[in-house]
Structure 1
Amino acid sequence: MELGLKGKRALVCASSRGLGFACALGLAKEGCRLVIASRNQERIEEAADRIRRETGAHVHAVVANVQDHDVAQKLVQACIDEFGGLEIAIHNAGGPPAGGFAAIDESQWALAFELSLMSFVRIARAAVPQMQQAGYGRLIAIASSSIRQPIPNLVLSNAMRMGVLGTAKTLSKELAMDNILVNVIAPGRISTERIDELDRADAEREGTTVDAIQKASVATIPIGRLGQPEELANLAVFLSSEAASYITGTAIQVDGGMLSAY
């Protein structure tokens, strides 16, 4: 299948590892030019070097924290400076802390709002004018399976990801006539450091082992295993492409059949 991505300009947030890195690598393999970003300079430079080695792509690495109010404009400006604009933006951000409602204080709610929701809003506000100028746009948010079914002990993620979903759906209506398509990817249990971190927290809370938590979670997945980051990235690459020209305003689960909800 011809995806029509060669030469497209893409921004991928939080892309030094995990899901963000897999998305960046997948886009690079299809010929995209990339700006990638992370808070950790060493990791983002290593990620950029690896993508260049494996694909030969033009990759520009930026040290950035998506919680900073001015970072979205900084990242989009990097795309403008490097490539003259952008057509694709993939929003990805580390998840907020685990905890139930009673355990989370107001300051943690405010930080989660900035990390998970407002960072997406700011990326959209900064990127959309460039997409309109290009006559082509793909705005993708990587959220969580919690947009379909709340996850125990993750009240912050459950709440904020729903805000991302609502914002994306609204934008899909407002921007469709500009050939800007907006979609959400809802990962389930994908093998990343974030999942390992959550498993450790669950094991501590329940007084059991990480291995027991992981075996119990795999038992809920019909495919019988965790997903790999590149399996989610394959969807992100497709949604970024010309081949996905009639898909907007939707949320697609990548969870191995885990959720019972549609």
Structure 2
Amino acid sequence: MDLGIANKTALVLGGGGGLGGAIAQSLAREGVKVVVADLSLEAATATADRIKATGQTAHARQWDLRALDAIDAQVGWIEANVGPVDILVNNTGGPPPTPASGQQADLWREHFEGMVLSVVQLTDRVLPGMRERGWGRVITSTSSGVIAPIPNLGISNALRMSLVGWSKTLAREVGQDGITSNIVLPGRIATARITFLDEARAKREGRSVEDVSRESTASIPVGRYGDPAEYGDAVAFLASARASYITGSTIRVDGGLIASI
């Protein structure tokens, strides 16, 4: 299937990580010009190099999402050197495991700025151009915790939930401009983040990582952790011309993990 997005420009936040890197590569396979942004320039460059090795176009950018005053300059560079952003993939890192109670205000504020406010302000920066061109995709990757809150991920559950309300509201505001806004949430995808969370749980509960992983896998109907490429391909479809009637939605890529309807 031709997804109809060849030569579009995509900005993928967190593109040096497991999920972001997979998203960037899936988009590149469709002929999209991808800007890989990450706090680690080394990680962003590694993803960009993998894409370029396949003959596709990719650029690496070091980007600290907490630096809100740098958004305009970062987007300006992309517009001048690659093209206007047609596809924005908001994929931010997760906060450390914490209970919901007893956390310092500064910790909440730090992660709110990096996970929520940065996404809102960046999206606001690229929306006028999308409206002018009559086409755009805003895809925000969150967590299964927005549907079924995950124990000991209090900050993540709360802040990512705010992005769901924001994205749904945005979808109604920009739908007639040819722009879609959707949430994508991963279940347990085999990335370094999942390994970290399994290790943290094992330490907290005095169990082996292997035992925690086996128990987690047993709770997934398909019987395994997801492949990052499966997640990336789902995002690429939502970014496509074929998905023009999907907006305001929350798409689960979880192997059936989340029990609720």
TM-score by length of 2: 0.97
Tell me by how many angstroms 1:242 deviates: 0.4
Give the unaligned 5+ runs of structure 1. Answer: none
The answer for the alignment partner of 1:26 in structure 2 is 26
**Which residues of 2 match residues 30-69 of structure 1 at below 5 A?**
30-54=30-54, 56-69=55-68
**Any idea what SS the aligned residue of 1:104 has?**
coil
**CA offset digits 1:139-177 (Å, max 9, x no partner):** 000000111110000000110111000000010000001
Distance in 1 (CA, whole Å) between partners of 2:153 and 2:104 is 13
- The answer on whether the counterparts of 1:35 and 1:78 sit within 8 Å (CA) in structure 2 is no
Distance in 1 (CA, whole Å) between partners of 2:235 and 2:101 is 35
**CA offset digits 1:10-59 (Å, max 9, x no partner):** 100110130101011111110001111111122212221111002x1221
Tell me by how many angstroms 1:83 deviates: 2.8
**Which residues of 2 match residues 56-205 of structure 1 at below 5 A?**
56-205=55-204
Tell me by how many angstroms 1:103 deviates: 4.8
Tell me by how many angstroms 1:76 deviates: 1.9
Tell me by how many angstroms 1:68 deviates: 1.4
Distance in 2 (CA, whole Å) between partners of 1:101 and 1:89 is 30
Distance in 2 (CA, whole Å) between partners of 1:128 and 1:31 is 22
Distance in 2 (CA, whole Å) between partners of 1:227 and 1:103 is 33
**CA offset digits 1:209-253 (Å, max 9, x no partner):** 111111111111000000011111111000000000100000011
TM-score by length of 1: 0.96
- Percent identity between matched residues is 40
Distance in 2 (CA, whole Å) between partners of 1:102 and 1:161 is 17
C-alpha RMSD of matched pairs (Å): 1.2
Distance in 1 (CA, whole Å) between partners of 2:219 and 2:252 is 15
The answer for the alignment partner of 1:208 in structure 2 is 207
Distance in 2 (CA, whole Å) between partners of 1:84 and 1:124 is 16
- The answer on whether the counterparts of 1:86 and 1:127 sit within 8 Å (CA) in structure 2 is yes
Are 1:227 and 2:231 an aligned pair?
A: no
**Any idea what SS the aligned residue of 1:190 has?**
coil
1:146 alignment partner AA: G
**Any idea what SS the aligned residue of 2:231 has?**
helix
Tell me by how many angstroms 1:82 deviates: 1.6
Distance in 2 (CA, whole Å) between partners of 1:7 and 1:200 is 41
Q: Which runs of 4+ in 1 moved over 3 A?
A: none
- The answer on whether the counterparts of 1:11 and 1:76 sit within 8 Å (CA) in structure 2 is no
1:39 alignment partner AA: L
**CA offset digits 1:72-115 (Å, max 9, x no partner):** 32332222012331210001011011011235222211112112
